Amino acid sequence: MAEKPLKREINLLGLLFICIGSMIGSGWLFGSLYAAKAAGPASVLAWIIGAFAVLVIAFVYAELGATLPWPGGLARYPRLSFGYFSGLSFSWIAWLSYITVAPIEAQAVMEYAADYYPALTHTVNGSIELTHLGMTIAALLLFSFCLINYFGVKLFVRINNVIAYWKLFIPIATILIFMSVKFDVQNFTAGSGFFPLGWKGVLTAISTSGVIMAYTGFRAAIELSGETKNPQRALPFAIIGSVLICMFIYLGLQVAFIGSLEMSDIQNGWKNISFKGISGPFASLAMVLGLGWFAKVLFFDALVSPSGTALVCTGATARLTYAMGQKQFFPSWFTKLNKYQVPALGLFINYAVGLILLLPFPGWAELVGFISAAGALSFCSGPCVLLALRSQQPNLKRPFKVPFSILFTSAAFIISNLIVYWTGWETNSKLFLIIIGGMFLLLTYNLVVHGSKLKLNLLSGLWVILLIAGQTLLSYCGSFGGGKGWMPFGWDLLIVSAFSLCVLYTAFSFRLKNKEMEAINIS
């Protein structure tokens, strides 16, 4: 099927703001609290390590995105170097990580709004969950994101640019105001010192407290690269620039949050930090500090910031399903464009799936680990593709080229696998079950539709099977998130790293030969 053109209407600054808009959402409203509960004052290290980890991965995708500026790149790149089975597998994983973002942002809006309208949420087994009314309003909010995206990328970019300025201003203002009103350095050593929960707490915070989820918004640039002007220059700038900008913002927020706490807030231990009566940690602290006016600003931002992120991810997810339809992973009707050159049918199908996800994951905290693990697992394809493509197409024009490619790809692949492992067995077991079930259904559908015409390239996709099977076993044997604890902490990190290098080597060894590769079409 011939490619249908998408309008290239996003400029360099617009793409940067899209990435920033995707990153600064509910993560800044809740991330500081959940990171502190997981790691105490050492949570500041979680944001630094998380940013460094994502930067390594981002460099890999900056090269791929600048070299192959295709819409829905996360679905297309694996098929290019490893064939149909790998492409289907990773596009499905990437879609899972995307489709959950808009619902979690809508949930964040409802949880903050519940302080004014308590009927939106209730507490179940100690966790805040949406009521039927909350789910209904969240569904209407998600629908509004679809409508904005429906009328074209130009309208979407204009609205996002305005929101992005606000989303940059409010977190920075929060840091400055909180640190000027109250900042107690002793909080960083109170409650069993700087490392109350050790390095394991820091690593857990990276995967399950919103740290990785906050940073992975850079991938929106990949999905929208087909609608970007001069993508060879814009993508590296937007991807790397957005991660660096957001690192300083999130780090400042975590420092300001810890420094503004009262000793009574942490006297029962960092794990037990809570704020009664107000769902949002920063809004609660503002009230305690006598900043009632600023608490109202934060409540308004709780509508704007998550909505902006959901708006971006709604559009990016539609581009991903568009690419999946083009590559015959999803039915071809996902490629249909409306008169505004937007894959509208994909928009509304994704919306329907997002509504379903509100049911099993009715609270913000329940979805964070799932999104982080699925996102990190989807990033595993990038390092493998970059390494394979350097061999398969050495003369391909690369406007941005990662130095020391073997070192960078190895580090990026190890980091992605470690993030998945740190998420823990309780979350990963559900994720892997959904991945395997979805892959089976998609393969069955495509085999029925395309029959003998479908070449699966199973040998080149062997590494995908090894990756998922190995991660399942490692998560089960590990000590994170309900694992059996058979691998001692410290040694488990070495085992996961060694496993990652073996899978990366397998992927490179069984990459498609040049004559097997699809023709590269950058037009």
pLDDT band at residue 509, thresholds of 50, 70 and 90? very high
Instruction: Read off the pLDDT of each residue in 421-430 and give the average, rounded to a whole number.
Output: 90
Name, in order, each residue with C-beta under 8 angstroms of 186's C-beta and a sequence gap of 6 or more.
Answer: 263
Distance CA 318, CA 342 (A): 8
Total domain count, the chain: 1
Mean pLDDT, all residues of the chain? 84
* SS3 (DSSP) at 325: helix
- Asked, for residue 522, whether it belongs to a domain, the answer is no
Q: pTM to 2 decimals?
A: 0.84
CA atoms within a 13 Å half-sphere pointing along the CA-CB vector of 520: 18
Instruction: Read off the pLDDT of each residue in 407-418 and give the average, rounded to a whole number.
Output: 94
Q: Which of 519, 502, 442 is nearest to 80 (CA)?
A: 519
Name, in order, each residue with C-beta under 8 angstroms of 201's C-beta and a sequence gap of 6 or more.
Answer: 38, 39, 40, 42, 195
Statement: residue 3 has pLDDT above 60: no
Q: Which residue has the higher pLDDT, 347 or 418?
A: 418
Q: Confirm if 23 and 246 have CB atoms less than 8 A apart.
A: yes
Q: Which domain holds residue 120?
A: 12-516
- Asked, for residue 264, whether it belongs to a domain, the answer is yes
pLDDT of residue 211: 86
Question: How much of the chain exceeds pLDDT 90, in percent?
Answer: 27
pLDDT band at residue 311, thresholds of 50, 70 and 90? confident
Q: Which of 162, 95, 108 is nearest to 134 (CA)?
A: 108
Instruction: List pLDDT tens digits, range 453-493.
Output: 778 888 999 999 999 999 999 999 998 988 899 999 889 99
pLDDT of residue 70: 78
Instruction: State both tokens at 432.
Output: 């892997």
| CATH classification of the domain holding 360 | 1.20.1740.10
Instruction: Read off the pLDDT of each residue in 23-42 and give the average, rounded to a whole number.
Output: 85
Distance CA 413, CA 391 (A): 18
pLDDT of residue 520: 45
pLDDT of residue 145: 84
Instruction: Read off the pLDDT of each residue in 219-236 and give the average, rounded to a whole number.
Output: 77
* SS3 (DSSP) at 263: helix
pLDDT band at residue 66, thresholds of 50, 70 and 90? confident
Instruction: List pLDDT tens digits, range 75-94.
Output: 788 998 999 999 999 989 98
- Asked, for residue 181, whether it belongs to a domain, the answer is yes
- Asked, for residue 1, whether it belongs to a domain, the answer is no
- Asked, for residue 6, whether it belongs to a domain, the answer is no
Helices 462-477 and 425-450: crossing angle in degrees, nearest 10, is 160
Statement: residue 165 has pLDDT above 90: no
Helices 381-392 and 43-67: crossing angle in degrees, nearest 10, is 30
* SS3 (DSSP) at 319: helix
Instruction: List pLDDT tens digits, range 99-113.
Output: 878 887 887 788 778
